[in-house]
Structure 1
Amino acid sequence: MRGSPPDRLICLILLLMLVPAAAWGATVTRTLSTAEPGAGEVFEVSLSIEGITLGGVVETLPPGYTFAGTDHPADRILARDRQVAFALINETLITYKVRAPSSGSGDITGIWEDFLGESNGTIPASHLAVDGIETEEENTPQERPTQEAAPPFALLTAIVALIIARRWGGQR
């Protein structure tokens, strides 16, 4: 049984509206070189980015794990405490390094923002455990926040604003 021409037209219009939206959506995925690093080992984290021309990513590391560097341009990253923010301008891959603590487990979590596409989302968590040993999260006095932290999107907005101001300021 075939549908009437108006029904087929409505289905075609809906299909044409939904497929481009799904195909053009931004995605960010994370890949770890290892999920069970050795004590003190430095390992790589890769972020694959699709569909973001101008935006940013903020990664939050588990307690005890520290940011150990990246090849991403230095004027487009900001590392503070356990968070690392990357400003994105036509990037498709970001690789950074993390140093594992002597023991501990937890999740790397992340968020992304597409400024031109006016969308944002989360990056699925990636679990880590030093030498494969699970531990309970401990709140030591130095890990307790003493003041409310700024939201990650504010950090991304500030980084992108600095980059844009620097580029426009240099074109005079």
Structure 2
Amino acid sequence: MSAMTVKLRKTIKAAGLVSVFAIAAGCSPMDRYHGFIPPAEELAAVNVGSTTKDEVIGLFGPPVSDRALQNNTIYYASSQFEVFGPFAPEEVDRQVLAIDFDAGDRVRNISRYTLEDGRVVVLDRRVTEDGINDITFLSQLLGSFGRIDAGQFLGDEP
């Protein structure tokens, strides 16, 4: 074997080894965190019956959803997702902190829900109605041809 062949083999082996490490690093699980839950030490500052809604928002910041304020409940939520390579993220932990207020905007109850509780808490629903019922894009396009006025099309103004 020539010196060039030996050098080429070493280079291929090194490139293969680097590729294996890069693939292994790319497929290792990664954790992603979203949201915020106040720590237990800070939550201890909230007194049931005396702390107001404004004080809670001042301590922990704005809630997850503005709609929650209308129901006299503030929600703070956090989630942990595990991402493994090209697969979809999997939620491994979720915590929802619900702070209920009475009619006088004083704390009535503090509840904590986790992923294991299985309770569905709807924080916000954002759905925009399009006002179009069972009409496809092509039907809309073809339906507009009969409404074109030749004067408007050619730029003639009466």
| Structure 1 or 2: more strand by fraction | 1
TM-score by length of 2: 0.32
Higher relative contact order (CA 8 A, sep 6+): 1
